[in-house]
């Protein structure tokens, strides 16, 4: 897939950050329809207006609470009725809470919401569109933004890590299912970046040889590898190294190493995006 020209692209968490950047890429490549899903109505309207001004793609915006299965189903029904089949689905939306130990969590709903949006929503959204992508027989793509937290355990982000481990396991298993069933025209790419400068991880610290990633760098790489159909993208190279080390070293040795390079203290001063 050299370009998304003429395709229908749906992006979750599209109002800002990576989601907005993905939408800009789709418009720049002359996608026929770009569907934006986000819970922030005001930010979504602003992004949609910017993209519409380009006058290239038809922009569709839907305010969707991805923690609500019924909201997902209703929004998907509208997309099917107004546009039809989605060619490229980008599961980008995510939430994070951190800078506390698990037992210090006072709001139990925070756990439910994190798992619902980060782990369950990609599955629920994919179920709405993937069957038609499989049946259509045309080249199609499913891009899921997971995290390097899906590869290495990390203090002060246990629930987030759990949600991203689930997202990675699900996404890569679906990739294998598509290949095994002879539906290779639908390719799945899972992206696992470290912290990105979108504001979502404000206060989180980079660690040895691993600065906070630039949003444009992650968008460019993820978009390019999605079109190629690359199965797994881990950013940056140090995350690939840490993943390999975690699989080879005894747990205690691994812990000493990751503690020494700063991974285990990268969330100590996390504040998150200001509301």
Q: Compute the distance between CA of residue 50 and CA of residue 67 in angstroms, rounded to an integer.
A: 27
221: its two tokens = 């790489």
How does pLDDT run along the chain (275 residues), one tens digit per residue? 999 999 999 999 999 999 999 999 999 999 999 999 999 999 999 999 999 999 899 999 999 999 999 999 999 999 999 999 999 999 999 999 877 899 999 889 999 999 999 999 999 999 999 999 999 999 999 999 999 999 998 999 999 999 999 999 999 999 999 999 999 999 999 999 999 999 888 888 888 878 899 999 999 999 999 999 999 999 999 899 888 988 899 999 999 999 999 999 999 888 887 54
Whole-model pTM: value is 0.94
Catalytic residue among 160, 195, 257, 264: 160
Cβ atoms of 192 and 147 within 8 Å: the answer is yes
Q: Kindly write down the DSSP assignment for every residue of 162-217, as one continuous string.
A: HHHHHHHHHHHHHHHHHHHTT-TTEEEEEEEE--BTTTTTTT---BTTBPPBPHHH
Q: For domain 8-265, give the CATH number.
A: 3.40.50.720
The kind and range of the H/E element at 235 are strand 232-235
> Could you tell me the residue ranges of all domains in the chain?
8-265
Q: What is the pLDDT of residue 275?
A: 46
Active site (annotated) includes residue 264: no
The kind and range of the H/E element at 33 are strand 33-38
17: its two tokens = 């950050």
For residue 103, the number of C-alpha atoms closer than 13 Å in the C-beta half-sphere is: 0
């Amino acid at each position: 897939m050299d370009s998304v020209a003429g395709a229908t692209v749906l992006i979750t968490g599209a109002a800002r950050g990576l989601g907005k950047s993905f939408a800009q890429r789709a418009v720049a490549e002359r996608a026929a329809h770009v569907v934006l899903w986000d819970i922030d109505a005001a930010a979504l309207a602003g992004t949609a207006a910017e993209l519409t001004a380009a006058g290239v793609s038809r922009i569709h915006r839907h305010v969707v609470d991805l923690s609500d299965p019924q909201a997902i189903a209703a929004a998907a029904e509208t997309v099917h009725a107004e546009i039809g089949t989605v060619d490229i689905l980008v599961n980008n939306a995510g939430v994070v809470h951190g800078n506390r130990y698990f037992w210090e969590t006072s709001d139990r709903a925070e756990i439910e919401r994190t798992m619902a949006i980060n782990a369950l929503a990609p599955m629920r959204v994919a179920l709405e569109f993937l069957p038609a992508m499989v049946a259509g027989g045309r080249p199609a793509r499913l891009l899921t933004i997971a995290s390097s937290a899906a590869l290495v355990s990390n203090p002060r982000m246990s629930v987030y890590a759990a949600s991203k481990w689930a997202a990675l396991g699900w996404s890569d298993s679906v990739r294998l299912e598509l290949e095994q069933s002879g539906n290779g025209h639908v390719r799945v790419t899972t992206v696992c970046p470290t912290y990105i400068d979108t504001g979502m991880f404000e206060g989180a610290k980079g660690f040895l040889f691993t600065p906070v990633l630039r949003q444009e760098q992650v968008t460019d790489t993820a978009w390019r590898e999605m079109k190629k159909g690359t199965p797994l993208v881990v950013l940056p190279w140090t995350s690939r190294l840490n993943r390999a080390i975690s699989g080879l070293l005894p747990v205690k040795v691994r812990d000493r190493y990751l503690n020494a390079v700063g991974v285990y203290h990268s969330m100590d001063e996390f504040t998150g995006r200001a509301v």
